[in-house]
């Protein structure tokens, strides 16, 4: 979780912290909030956008600007993007205090709550009626909404498949038929999370792999979801410390004792895990969609889709996160990026901001970003692109987004999840029991999360 949630909001509460402070871009901000006319009476609408060059994000904004201006020719209107530098979350708050807020910027879905409290964003309920989102699943709507309103537009999407070593399964005596049928067993609830732990344990004991489980982050929500521990009640907009958290800690404790999880698991992020997985050192990697692309780049096959598909099918099998309960439904976790609209966009400018954002999500541009970033496209229309269909993994696992959940946008989530990870760390580094970890979690939440923002079961 980003460090800003505590520090940034404390800045918001500081009265007049930057009152009277100016910046070199102040004049640019005044231009960006209005419109002007050039010599031929064309109305120029300037939209400030925080630069984000990851994947094809900036390229897609540039192309969207061209397409929108072609569309607006008949109205004698021209949109011009004013690029502002990308900055971190703390700086967003500081610049807001100084009177600067970009018209459009990109951040994670989990950031909605604190950004709203800080005054960085405004509601954009036009999303409900936008043609772009007419066919998306309800899970997308839930991601873009908070407390009854739309506050962001999904820029890209991912899911959290579990990447399993096919070679290790073969070493355990599994046939190709068994391996290829594993996903269906997970989908039906026949294959459970405990079954996966047992396989990892067996593979490690037989020296087929060096590491049982690797995970992108010890906060990984997919493991909570597997035990029906969802942390949040959207109707009440409250965090939930449920008894199921004990079951999650019990998994951690058992997996550590069996050697499926090592003490240093937190140090093996996806950048380190990708080459390890490619070498056959990891049994199961719990990551997100882009790990597929990270392995492709590790293999030196960034531009060889066909060759990589062959390698992937020979070496990897993927599944959703299995349920801990027999017959239960699988889980998937995401941390998608959203496009947010700043507080200075008025009713006159909003239609142009809307159209620019909608063009960023033109189907072909979504796939440009998928190819560059490893993220999933947002809309079903984009999934019809032949380039998307040629990438079997993306095409086949897109169904996961129908039940993919995200971290709650509730502003206290950062403090809440810090308490959870302190419990995990106590198991990993201090040998604490699951019960002791749970009590530590509960103590931290009671001390640091406002009582009216959390339900402790």
Residue 300, exposed/middle/buried by CB under 10 A (0-12, 13-18, 19+)? exposed
Residue 15: is its pLDDT beyond 90?
Answer: no
Q: What would the pLDDT profile of 373-382 be if each residue is shown by its tens digit?
A: 989 999 999 9
Who contacts 34 (Cβ-Cβ below 8 Å, separation ≥6)? 46, 349
Task: Kindly report the length of the chain.
Answer: 457
pLDDT beyond 60 at 22: no
pLDDT surpassing 70 at residue 4: no
Token representation of residue 126 = 């036009």
For the cut 50, the answer to whether the pLDDT of residue 206 exceeds it is yes
Whole-angstrom distance, CA of residue 216 vs CA of residue 273: 8
Q: What average pLDDT does range 380-407 have in this prediction?
A: 91
**What pLDDT score was predicted for residue 446?**
98
Residues 41 and 30: their CA atoms lie apart, in Å, by: 20
What is the reported pLDDT for 68?
A: 99
Dump pLDDT digits (tens) for 277-320. Answer: 999 999 999 999 999 999 999 999 988 989 999 999 999 999 99
Tokens of residue 289, six digits: 């969609």
Burial 361-391 (b: 16+ CB within 10 A, else e): bbbebbbbbbbbbbbbbbbebbbebeebeeb
Dist CA 93 CA 97 (whole Å): 6
Give CA separation, 88 vs 50, 105, 108, 252, in Å: 11, 11, 12, 33
- On whether the CB atoms of residues 246 and 436 are closer than 8 A, the answer is no
Question: Would you list the DSSP string of 171-240?
Answer: HTT--HHHHHTHHHHHHHTSS-HHHHHHHHHHHHHTTS-SEEEEES-TT-HHHHHHTT---EETTTTEEE
The mean per-residue pLDDT over the stretch 112-117 comes to 96
pLDDT digits (tens, 9 = 90+) for 43-98: 999 999 999 999 999 999 999 999 999 999 999 999 999 999 999 999 999 999 99
Residue ranges and CATH numbers for the domains of the chain are 4-157+335-406 (3.40.190.10), 162-227+245-334 (3.40.190.10)
Q: Is the pLDDT of residue 1 over 90?
A: no
Name the band, by pLDDT with cuts 50, 70 and 90, for residue 32.
very low
Summarised one tens digit per residue, pLDDT across range 421-449 is 999 999 999 999 999 999 999 999 999 99
Query: Is residue 400 very low, low, confident or very high in pLDDT (cuts 50, 70, 90)?
Result: very high
DSSP state of 325: S
User: What percentage of the chain carries pLDDT values higher than 70?
Assistant: 91
User: H helices of 304-412, where?
Assistant: 305-315, 350-360, 363-373, 386-390, 392-397
Segment 36-42 mean pLDDT: 70
Which range is least confidently modeled, 4-18, 47-61, 317-331, 351-365? 4-18
Once rounded to an integer, what is the mean pLDDT over residues 136-159? 91
Per-residue pLDDT at 34 exceeds 60: no
The mean pLDDT of 321-350, rounded to a whole number, is 97
Place of tokens 């229309």: 381
Residue 5 has what pLDDT?
Answer: 44
State the pLDDT confidence band at 38, using cuts at 50, 70 and 90.
Answer: low
Mean pLDDT of 225-254: 96
Residue 39 has pLDDT above 70, yes or no: no
- CA–CA separation, 4 vs 28, rounded Å? 26
Q: What is the pLDDT of residue 14?
A: 39
**Distance from CA of residue 106 to its chain's centroid?**
12
Q: Averaged over 153-170, what is the pLDDT?
A: 96
Quick check: 213 and 286 in contact, CB under 8 A? yes
- Average pLDDT (407-417) is 94
Residue 306 is encoded by which pair of tokens? 């066909």
Given a cut of 90, whether residue 36 has pLDDT beyond it is no
Name the more confident of 417 and 28: 417
pTM, two decimals, is: 0.86
């Amino acid at each position: 979780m980003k460090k800003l949630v505590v520090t940034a909001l404390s800045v918001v509460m500081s009265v007049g912290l930057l009152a009277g402070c100016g910046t070199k871009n102040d004049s640019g901000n005044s231009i960006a909030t209005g419109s002007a006319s050039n010599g031929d009476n064309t109305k120029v609408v300037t939209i400030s956008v925080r630069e984000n060059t990851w994947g094809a994000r900036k390229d897609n904004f540039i192309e969207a600007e061209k397409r929108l201006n072609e569309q607006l020719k008949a109205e004698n209107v021209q949109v011009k993007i004013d690029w502002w530098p990308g900055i971190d979350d703390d700086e967003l708050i500081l610049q807001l205090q100084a009177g600067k807020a970009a018209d459009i910027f990109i951040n994670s879905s989990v950031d909605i709550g604190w950004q709203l409290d800080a005054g960085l964003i405004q509601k954009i309920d036009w999303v409900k009626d936008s043609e772009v989102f007419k066919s998306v699943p309800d899970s997308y709507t839930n991601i873009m909404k908070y407390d009854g309103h739309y506050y962001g537009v999904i820029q890209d999407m991912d899911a959290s498949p579990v990447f399993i070593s096919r070679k290790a399964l073969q070493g355990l005596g599994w046939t190709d038929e068994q391996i290829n049928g594993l996903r269906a067993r997970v989908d039906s609830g026949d294959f459970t999370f405990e079954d996966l732990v047992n396989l990892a344990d067996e593979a490690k004991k037989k020296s087929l792999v060096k590491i049982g489980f690797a995970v992108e982050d010890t906060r990984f929500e997919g493991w909570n979801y597997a035990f029906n521990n969802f942390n949040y009640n959207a109707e009440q907009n409250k965090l939930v410390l449920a008894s199921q958290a004990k079951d999650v800690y019990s998994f951690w404790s058992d997996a550590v004792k069996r050697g499926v999880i090592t003490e240093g698991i937190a140090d093996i992020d996806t950048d380190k895990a990708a080459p390890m997985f490619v070498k056959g050192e990891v049994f199961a990697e719990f990551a997100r969609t882009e790990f597929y692309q990270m392995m492709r780049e590790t293999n030196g096959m960034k531009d060889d889709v066909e060759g990589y598909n062959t390698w992937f099918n020979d070496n990897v099998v993927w599944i959703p996160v299995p349920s801990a309960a027999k017959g239960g439904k699988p889980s998937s976790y995401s941390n998608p990026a959203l496009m947010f609209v700043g507080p200075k966009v008025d009713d006159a400018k909003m239609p142009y901001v809307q159209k620019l954002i909608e063009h960023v999500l033109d189907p072909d541009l979504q796939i440009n970003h998928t190819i560059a970033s490893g993220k999933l496209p947002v809309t079903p229309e984009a999934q019809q692109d032949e380039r998307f269909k040629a990438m079997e993994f993306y095409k086949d696992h897109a169904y996961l987004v129908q039940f993919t959940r995200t971290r709650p946008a509730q502003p206290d989530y950062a403090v809440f999840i810090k308490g959870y990870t302190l419990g995990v760390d106590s198991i990993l580094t201090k040998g604490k029991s699951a019960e002791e970890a749970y009590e530590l979690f509960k103590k931290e939440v009671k001390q640091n999360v406002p009582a009216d923002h959390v339900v402790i079961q």
